Amino acid sequence: MTAATSSLIEELRARGLIAQMTSEEELNAHLSEGPRVLYCGFDPTADSLHLGHLVPLLVLKRCQDAGHHPIALVGGATGLIGDPSFKAAERQLNTPDVVAGWADKIRGQVSQFIKFEGVDNPARVVNNLEWIGSMNVLDFLRDVGKHFSVNNMINKESVQQRLQREGAGISFTEFSYALLQGLDFAELNRRYGCTLQVGGSDQWGNIVGGIDLSRRQNQAQAFGLTVPLVTKADGTKFGKTESGAVWLDPAKTSPYSFYQFWLNTADADVYKFLRYFTFLPVADIEAIEAADAAAEGRPQAQSILAREATLMVHGPEGLAAAERITDAMFSGSLQDLGESDLAQLAQDGLPSSELPADFAEKPLTTLLADAGMVKAAREAKDALTRNAVLINGEARGMADNMEAARCFAPTAALYGRYFLVKLGKKKNHLFVLSAQ
């Protein structure tokens, strides 16, 4: 965690974190010679970062731990344009005030992961709106545009599918995106001596553009490094659940859901993800893998990954909350839960809701669907048909469907008002009888 003793590049490679880089030998030497300044950009395309952003963000942290100065760039300007790289269709523009609001949130999130004080190599957060926002068109065209060849740009793989695709096309606006990202690099190079840009592998073309511009404008040598796109062994998209993306914002994805996401990682992916998403030494991860391979039954890797990742993103309290719910839902028994425990579970982020006043007249299927336990009442029906719905531990079936009054009778409630409903193996919801 101090100065770069064993090569940073070696470490990243051992973790499988390098997709592409410019001139390995030179970059390795460059990073070994002393503290360097590097950056990675995050465009505000939503009000939170998600798991896909985490890998490059953690690479920034890994670099800081190795003694370098990271800069997290929030794309307040580029977010207004939209990156066309490897996208199938033109994006819809968001309004400036919306993007500005998102940029603020992203700035806060990014800041959790890197240190700004108390270290010799403090990090920095910048917003490219600062220099792009005030730039005038003629300066842009003369100072930046002149250095980019349209011939090269249209040959880039990242825009090919947009150029070839019938009926899609690409607007001049999005086509210009690469120039903005290029000028960011050149600008950071001038301002802070930034010499390395890190990004996802889809950013390679943009990064190379920035390196070229830095050389042409500043006569400076700069480097690029990309991290691989996170993939899963079964070919499905990483970072998605039934309910959508896994966000870093606890208000959008609760620490409990976040923890559960990692806990459900497939064996085929878990050791790779430990390398990507934790700071455990590679040797330790190899030891975990060996121990799991030798042991019968359930591997320990998933719970280690879930614990490490949740701790890193949501802190000790978030992890504690996630573990409380997990223990209560998957190992403990209802009898072990005290009244305050139940209240705590709801606070910790266990999905919960109040029973509507007229619940007695509604079918169970409707109540469960309205509470968000299932996407359509039909799924609740299916579960009921298989006796896969437990209300306070008691199995319910279709025969009980019109018996909500009996199923949720106050006398059956825990502490007079709580009902823990389990649907299938993984879906839990706390229903609360409204007080009166």
**Whole-number minimum distance, CB 328 to RNA, in Å?**
10
**Whole-number minimum distance, CB 279 to RNA, in Å?**
22
Window contacting RNA (CB under 7 A); options: 47-55, 214-222, 313-321, 420-428: 420-428
Residue 370 is a catalytic residue: no
| Three-state SS at 94 | coil
Contact 432, 353 (CB under 8 A): yes
Residue 91 is a catalytic residue: yes
CA distance 244 to 223: 35
Contact 278, 305 (CB under 8 A): yes
**Contact map string, positions 157 to 176, toward RNA, x by CB under 7 A:** ---------xx---------
CA atoms within 13 A on the CB side of 384: 25
Structure tokens at 174: 């999005």
**Within positions 285 to 344, which residues make up the interface with RNA, using CB under 7 A?**
297-299, 302, 326, 330
Q: Spot the catalytic one: 156, 216, 240, 417.
A: 240
**Whole-number minimum distance, CB 111 to RNA, in Å?**
30
Residue 212 is a catalytic residue: no
Q: Spot the catalytic one: 142, 146, 165, 237.
A: 237
Residue 314 is a catalytic residue: no
Residue 237 is a catalytic residue: yes
**Whole-number minimum distance, CB 2 to RNA, in Å?**
36
CA distance 28 to 298: 40
Nearer to RNA, 38 or 421 (CB): 421
Nearer to RNA, 16 or 299 (CB): 299
Nearer to RNA, 13 or 386 (CB): 386
CA distance 316 to 401: 41
**Within positions 244 to 263, which residues make up the interface with RNA, using CB under 7 A?**
260, 263
CA nearest to 321, candidates 109, 313, 49: 313
Window contacting RNA (CB under 7 A); options: 70-78, 100-108, 137-145, 358-366: 358-366
Q: What share of the chain is helix, strand, coil (3-state, %, to 5)?
A: 50, 15, 35
**Whole-number minimum distance, CB 369 to RNA, in Å?**
6
Nearer to RNA, 49 or 288 (CB): 288
Residues 6+ apart with CB under 8 A from 359: 367, 404, 405, 408
**Contact map string, positions 88 to 127, toward RNA, x by CB under 7 A:** ----------------------------------------
Nearer to RNA, 109 or 326 (CB): 326
Nearer to RNA, 205 or 349 (CB): 349
Q: Is the backbone of residue 121 left (phi > 0), alpha (psi -120 to 50) or beta?
A: beta
236 contributes a contact to RNA by CB under 7 A:
yes
Q: Exposed, middle or buried: residue 151 (CB in 10 Å: 0-12, 13-18, 19+)?
A: exposed
Nearer to RNA, 169 or 416 (CB): 169
Strand order in the sheet with 389-391: 352-354, 427-432, 418-423, 389-391, 394-396
433 contributes a contact to RNA by CB under 7 A:
no
Contact 39, 57 (CB under 8 A): no
Nearer to RNA, 126 or 311 (CB): 311
**Whole-number minimum distance, CB 241 to RNA, in Å?**
7
Structure tokens at 10: 């070696």
Q: Spot the catalytic one: 22, 78, 109, 181.
A: 181
Window contacting RNA (CB under 7 A); options: 5-13, 175-183, 367-375, 408-416: 367-375
CA distance 186 to 195: 9
CA distance 420 to 256: 16
Q: Spot the catalytic one: 5, 112, 241, 300.
A: 241
Torsion of CA 288, 237, 201, 249, to 10 degrees: -80
CA distance 144 to 213: 8
Residue 142 is a catalytic residue: no
CA nearest to 205, candidates 179, 167, 235: 179
Window contacting RNA (CB under 7 A); options: 186-194, 204-212, 234-242, 278-286: 234-242
User: What distance separates the 2 farthest-apart alpha carbons in the chain?
Assistant: 79
Q: Spot the catalytic one: 53, 62, 68, 69.
A: 53
**Whole-number minimum distance, CB 244 to RNA, in Å?**
12
Q: Which residues bind RNA (CB under 7 A)?
A: 166-167, 234, 236, 242, 260, 263-264, 266-268, 297-299, 302, 326, 330, 363, 365-366, 369, 374-379, 381-383, 386, 388, 398, 401-402, 423-427
The residues assigned a catalytic role are 45, 50, 53, 87, 91, 181, 202, 237, 240-241
